[in-house]
Structures are given as C-alpha cells and as structure tokens.
Structure 1
C-alpha cells in the first residue's frame, strides 16, 4: 500500500516512514524545444545535444543508485532513460501514462502562433483557469494518469529506495503538484524544468516533500511546453 494520500499529500498513519525518493527527470533537448514549438504528445526525437545532455545527467543520477526506472514511451523520454539504463544495467518500463499533455490544435505550433491564434485561451490558462489547451487534456487529467502510475512504482521500492521517472516538463510539474497535495491553481508556482534537469521528492512523516527542483546544471532557459 502507498504511504500517502495522493489527494492531500498526508501519510496513512505509519509511525515510521520509509525514506524513499522519486527523481522526476525531464528529457533532453529536441529541435522543437529550440523552435519553441509545442510538442505535447507528438513523438519528437532528441537532438545530438539532447543525447549529450542525457548522457551527462545519467552519470550524475547513477550515483544515486536507483532501484528502478520508468519512462514515458515517447522517444525523447525513452532515449533519455536509455542512457541511465546503460550505466546502471536497470531495465526501463515504458508507460503512456507519463506522456506530455495532449494539447490538440496547439501541437506543432510555435509559442508566437499559439498567442496569435489562441491568445484568449492561453491567457486563461496562465491565470490558472481549467483550460483544455487546443481541445486537449486538462492539467488535472494529466496528474490523474501520471501520479498513480508513479506511486505504483514507488510501492515496489525497498526501504530508502529511489525511483527515477523520465517524463516531460508539464507532466512532471503536475505530478509534483499532485503528490505534494497542492491545489491545481498553485502548480504553476513550481516553475518549469530545463532540458535534462530533475526534481527530487522525498518521503517524510507527513507525506512527500520537495527536496530539489530543476537540479542538474547551472540555470538555463526553460524551453518547452510548460511555459
């Protein structure tokens, strides 16, 4: 059984917490990131720079001695996860529940094109309203599919074990918000992740705590859908 209430971020009453950790790792750079083109669930591959980012980050994350790796099945996340698997020897379990937010008509458009064609919808989303960007998923629906999948894998960890989740900026942010028990309006306050950076959640006596956010490099611009 999970040690937290996913809706509130509270413990289930166990006197001793297990100290497990979740590392939520964003994929490396893609050409669409550089073009500020909304990817969503479109399956875009890594650039050469993105592969190099993943390789560098994997060496750092391997030092955490993770027990398990789970990744989005989109190739930019799968290829990123493969770099860590190559070092650790761990298998990667791929799951569509970790895909980036499906954003319908927004997908493939640049940031400027979205503002031009869907300016009011974009503004409403930034205000924190529940918006189906491009007719796609709500952020809460993304959390509904991703957070339980993460917890399922956490439940398999040993005492003090670490799970690495390789996913996408928007999906990671909504998952963190859900696991911390924050209302969806406040998820924006977590900020985005740069390519191949990660956040760490640690299990404490009262649930999950954010231990690191957007770690892994010197500050870089956030290029992606979660802006």
Structure 2
C-alpha cells in the first residue's frame, strides 16, 4: 500500500458519466439508456487519467451505457474490474423521460414547480428522490465497507442518483439535498471517512467550471 495514503481513512469518489446527446438537447434522461457522445468518451478518457492517480481499489457503476462506458475508461487505465449494479441507475421519471425542460414545464408545470420547491414529487409518475437514495446509497456503503482502511472506491453513476446518495450518506434531510449543486459531465464529488461518519471533501471537482447539463441542473 502506498505509504502516502496510510491513515487517511476510506474515500468514495462519486463520478458522473460523460456527455450525451440528450444532455446537449436539455432532454430529461432519467433511466433511459442513452450512449455517450464522442465528446463524452473524450471527457471520460481525460478524467480517468486524473482519477487513476488516486490509486482506486475498486470501481462500481450503473449498468446504463453512459455510466458503463465512462467506467470502462478508468478500468482501462487501472486494470480494475467493474462491478455493475442497477441500484446505481438514474431516477426513473416516467413520462418526463425524453422531454425537454421546456416541454416538461409546458405540460407538467405545477408538478415541476413543486419539485423545485423541494416537495416529495414522483416526477412523471416515477421514483421519489428518497427512493433513489434507498436503492443507491446501500450499494455504495456495501462496497465502501469492503475497502482497506485507507482505500478508495470509485462510483460511476448519474447526477441525480449521486446527489441523493451524498445527501443520504451525509445524514441530511431530503429537503436539503437540493442544496448540493448538480455535477457537470464527468466531474466528481469525494466523500471522506471522518470521526462522525462520512463528510463531503470535494464537490463537482475535475474541471474548470462547466454548465450542468442534465436532469439535475
């Protein structure tokens, strides 16, 4: 084990997938299985070289193609296998999926406004944010518990799923989760193990400021 890492405590890097065509079109993806653009692949390729310098011990990923392809870039650099888990998928948002932001506001304006106010809303008849945390956070915790004392886990997932997972792991009430800003494509947040549980060490790291394109903007 690298001596510089000793005594640091475990770390979790939550890495959002690269760019997709629907991100560029401001189209709500949810759990729709959309591929990366060529720029998204390039983003993942660049970011993987930075994340490899953290010497991760394990990689887990959503099984949706945009996350799996992003994770594959880090696997290629580190030689680590990827464990895929459907629990890390993005929020299912029913009839909102495939619509642009403007179309959602036009058709479901009251529901959209309630969501933005922080009310527990099943967007498009889909999942509550707390239900996403209920399925995603335990997956992350399970794999984090397998790490060595100063190990690093990389979780490749989606903006909304990552935000709810961070909120749950920090012990925040769900109406405060909106206070965690969205992640730009291929950026990440880092949780570190502290004396009183997990704490947020970095958020939306990995690049100069970029607009947040996606469901969680």
Structure 2 equivalent of residue 90 of structure 1: 80
Structure 2 equivalent of residue 59 of structure 1: 49
Taking the TM superposition and a 5 Å limit, the aligned residue runs for 1:1-227 are 19-227=9-217
Question: How far apart are residue 18 of structure 1 and its match?
Answer: 7.1
Question: How far apart are residue 21 of structure 1 and its match?
Answer: 0.3
Question: How far apart are residue 71 of structure 1 and its match?
Answer: 0.1
**Cα distance in 2 for residues equivalent to 1:179 and 1:42:** 26
SS of residue matched to 2:154:
strand
Question: How far apart are residue 187 of structure 1 and its match?
Answer: 0.2
SS of residue matched to 1:129:
coil
Question: How far apart are residue 113 of structure 1 and its match?
Answer: 0.2
How many residues get paired?
211
**Cα distance in 2 for residues equivalent to 1:65 and 1:125:** 38
**Cα distance in 1 for residues equivalent to 2:213 and 2:8:** 35
TM-superposition CA deviations, 1:128-182 (whole Å, max 9, x none): 1000000000000000000000000001100100000000000000000000000
**Cα distance in 1 for residues equivalent to 2:176 and 2:146:** 30
SS of residue matched to 2:138:
helix
Structure 1: segments with no counterpart, 5+ residues = 1-16
Question: How far apart are residue 24 of structure 1 and its match?
Answer: 0.1
**Cα distance in 1 for residues equivalent to 2:100 and 2:107:** 11
Question: How far apart are residue 22 of structure 1 and its match?
Answer: 0.2
Q: Under a length normalisation based on structure 2, what TM-score does the superposition of the two structures give?
A: 0.96
**Cα distance in 1 for residues equivalent to 2:93 and 2:8:** 37
Which consecutive segments of 4 or more residues in structure 1 shift more than 6 A?
none
Structure 2 equivalent of residue 13 of structure 1: none
TM-align CA RMSD = 0.8
Structure 2 equivalent of residue 7 of structure 1: none
